[in-house]
Chains A and B, each alone.
Chain A
Amino acid sequence: MIPIHYYLILSAVMFITGVVGVLTRRNAIIIFMCIELMLNSVNLTFVAFSSYLGNATGQMFVFFVMAVAAAEAAVGLAIVIALFRNKQTVNINDVNILKW
């Protein structure tokens, strides 16, 4: 059996990759994918602990997260498309109208 910390290390690496991607990349779709990466790293942690502890609660949470992620993907992609229709770009440096 693969020890639990292997899963946790992999999950942490995935999560940090996601965070760094969100903070540094400028392409909205890549940022979006990075968010998915972070969500899935959390899912991995949930599943690992569920298996390790012999408790199904973690797996239940994963389903919730996946449902939310699906909804989020739909809304997020819709935003990106709307954005592209308006500005002909998905570079978030060009989308700074929040700043006065």
Chain B
Amino acid sequence: MHQYVGLIVLFPLIGLFINGLFGRKIKNEKLIGSIGSGAVGLSFLVAIGIFVEMLGMPAEERGSVVTLFTWIAAGSFKVSAAYQIDQLSIFMTLVVTGVGFLIHVYSIGYMHGDRGFWRFFTYLNLFIFAMLNLVLADNYLLMFLGWEGVGLCSYLLIGFWYDKKFDGVGITWTGDAGNKAFWVNRIGDFAFMIGMFLIFKEFGSLTFNEVMGGAENLAVGNSNVFWITLLLFIGATGKSAQIPLFIWLPDAMAGPTPVSALIHAATMVTAGVYMVARNSALYALAPDTMMVVAVVGALTAIMAASIGIAQNDIKKVLAYSTVSQLGYMFLALGVGAFTAGIFHVMTHAFFKACLFLGSGSVIHAMHEEQDIRHMGGLKKVMPKTYWTFLISSFAIAGFPPLAGFFSKDEILWKAFADGSGVLWAIGALAALMTAFYMLRMVTLTFEGEPRWAADKHPHESPSSMTIPLIVLAALAVVGGFIGVPAVLGGGNAIHQWLHPVFAQAEKTMALPEHHNHALEYALMAISVAIAISGAWFGYRMFKKDPEADGRISSKLGFIYNLLSNKYYVDEGYDGAIVQPVVKTSDRFLFGFFDVRIIDGIVNGSASLTAWVSRLMRTAQSGVVQNYAALIVVGTLIVLGLIIIG
């Protein structure tokens, strides 16, 4: 099966071309949707085939590289379009194609009647194609191709409804939100590229296998590796929305909801996590970078969670929740728990995709209303959406034995054991907030009395939308069982599966084995208590009084305003970076440099020519006798020269 890995990437490409070239003519939504979803479904089946085959092999034979063709060859520099199949890449491929397939199916229902229906599926297929290149690439350059490709799709899909208004700092149209995402990502991509150049300088190759092989000979604390890993991590902060580059993700909610689910929750934003995990052997050599990763992750987790408490847009809450959960993943990576980070990528993909799709179902039913203060009482009219949404909320809040419990608990335990108590405390506090705002949102949306206008008639969504919800909710329930920790008597299958990929990093870091089961149980109990109390608090407070926000803001005005305005980060960036850049461009680059220097050179050469011409023109008097006199003078000079010579 290994040799068929090209097919995984090929199917979305075919779907992309069919829908992209003929979609406008096909017009049949069912057909367009089936082509788009079918392409991803086929990729998923091939990925399962490869996965099953890998299961049947001994662990050390599971990795392989399939080279399709030589992409770039220049002297000693050679890059191939080659796909690396190993435990990590096939795992990510399964998540991308599996969740991607469900979201494609959901989109058939959600995008029904949209005039850009075919365009939407073309972009989605392009996204899957780019994302698969990202996770399957065997070298940094091909990965970067996918990395940029998903960024492009993100831009295209955020601004999909380009003529729709969208409100944000410096943003009036959805297209502006797309631009913002693109620009912020550009900063990270720049760092990623510098990191890539440094890798080539240090290791003389861009393939993962050769770089990791070269890393074996390097000492821990190597300064080049420190810069490489730090630059790659800055790239990851852009793509995966970490401090300081997280600001684009909440505005990315301008796109259609399936896009938010697929790109801005389940798959693309986890690319940074995957990239760091892929380079685990390098990161293990740079403990300083690891510390940075862990601290940035923890701070992002708590900052975004606290913002999520005070948001009223259902998608904004989920967006900040995504940023916060991504922070957890980086916290895990930073303390060396690569498996836990990847595990959380998977469980998060399940429940967050389900939550976003559920919110899409709600928005659909409420006729594009997104403000949860104007919802309420939807439990009765859309029970399927309610139950799947509730289950996923419990999963993200960390209720045992749902998926989120296992992955989040493992991250917190590793943060405590291999990191520090402070990191654990920040993570635990963020978990408390997560449970609180999730249940606040559920309560305001589905419970209590309806607060919507009487002329709205919410209804349950069609089955093409509810079936993916049910499948994802089911995955959010059972997904965690592949990572049941040993203390709970589980085999922790995902650890054993991914172990060969991270073996080199684990050997380098030489983290101690933990046998303090009592402590692990205690922390687990605290996690559960946190989840339950946060959820209970959120439920009670907003069940009793949907207007509780107003009460809080009158008491804690300053803090509440700080949170609901997202710590004024956007305003701060606007004032500190955007406006100075705009002003510099306007006043210096345009007003001075362009107008004076560039235009000055152009106009100057013209006026110099004119000036010289004015001088020369005086000889051309138009009086024939002057010319005749000059002829005489010339003749005399020539004669004189002949006579003298």
Whether chain B is bound by chain A comes out as yes
Please classify the interface of chain B as helix (H, G, I), strand (E, B), loop, or mixed, using the class held by over half of its residues.
helix
Q: Looking across the interface, which residue of chain B has its beta carbon closest to that of A25?
A: B625
Asked if B454 is an interface residue, CB under 8 A from chain A, the answer is no
As a 0/1 sequence over residues 1 to 39 of chain A, the CB contacts with chain B under 8 angstroms (1 = contact) are: 000000000000000000100111000000000000000
Q: Is A100 an interface position by the 8 A CB rule? A: yes
The main secondary structure of chain A at its interface with chain B is: helix
Smallest Cβ distance from A99 to chain B, in angstroms?
2
Give A25 to B629 CA distance when docked, in angstroms: 12
| Per-position 1/0 for A21-63, Cβ under 8 A of B | 0111000000000000000000000000000000000000000
Minimal Cβ-Cβ distance residue in B for A100? B622
Q: Quick check: B623 and A23 within 8 Å, CB to CB? A: no
**Least distance between B292 CB and chain A CB atoms (Å):** 74
Q: Which residues of A contact B625 (CB under 8 A)?
A: 22-24, 92
Residues in A neighbouring B620, C-beta threshold 8 A = 99-100
Residue of chain A at shortest CB distance from B620: A99
Extra A-B contacts (5), CB below 8 Å, given A99-B621, A99-B623: A22-B628, A23-B629, A96-B622, A98-B622, A98-B624
Whether B632 contacts A19 by the Cβ 8 Å rule is yes
Q: How far is the CA of A88 from the CA of B623 in the complex (A)?
A: 19
The residues in B between 590 and 625 inclusive whose CB is less than 8 angstroms from any CB of A are: 620-625
What is the chain A residue whose CB lies nearest that of B622? A99
| Cβ contacts A to B, 6 pairs, < 8 Å | A22-B628, A92-B625, A96-B622, A98-B622, A99-B621, A100-B622
What B residues does A96 contact at CB under 8 A? 622-623
The 9 closest A-B pairs by CB, nearest first: A99-B622, A96-B622, A98-B622, A23-B629, A23-B625, A22-B628, A19-B632, A23-B628, A96-B623
Q: Size of chain A's interface in residues, with CB distance under 8 A?
A: 11
Closest chain A CB from B109 CB (angstroms): 77
Contact digits for B484-510, partner A, Cβ 8 Å, 1 yes 0 no: 000000000000000000000000000
A22 vs B622: C-alpha distance when bound (angstroms): 16
Distance of A92 Cα from B624 Cα, bound (Å):
8
Interchain CA distance A93-B624 in the complex, whole Å: 9
1/0 per residue, CB under 8 A from B, across A60-100: the answer is 00000000000000000000000000000000110011111
Instruction: Give the shortest distance, in Å, between B329 (CB) and chain A (any CB).
Output: 78
Task: Give the distance in Å from the alpha carbon of A88 to the alpha carbon of B628 in the complex.
Answer: 24
Shortest CB–CB separation between residue A41 and chain B, in angstroms? 14
The answer for the CA separation of A24 and B624 in the assembled complex, in Å, is: 11
Minimum CB distance partner of B632 in chain A: A19
B14 to chain A, nearest CB (A): 70
In the bound complex, CA of A99 to CA of B627 (Å): 12
CB distance from B620 to the nearest CB of A (A): 7
Q: Which residues of B contact A19 (CB under 8 A)?
A: 632
A92 proximity list for chain B (CB < 8 A): 623-625
Give Cα distance in the complex from A24 to B632, angstroms.
13
Which A residue sits closest to B627, measured CB to CB? A98
The 0/1 profile, CB within 8 Å of A marked 1, for residues 619-645 of chain B is 011111100110010000000000000
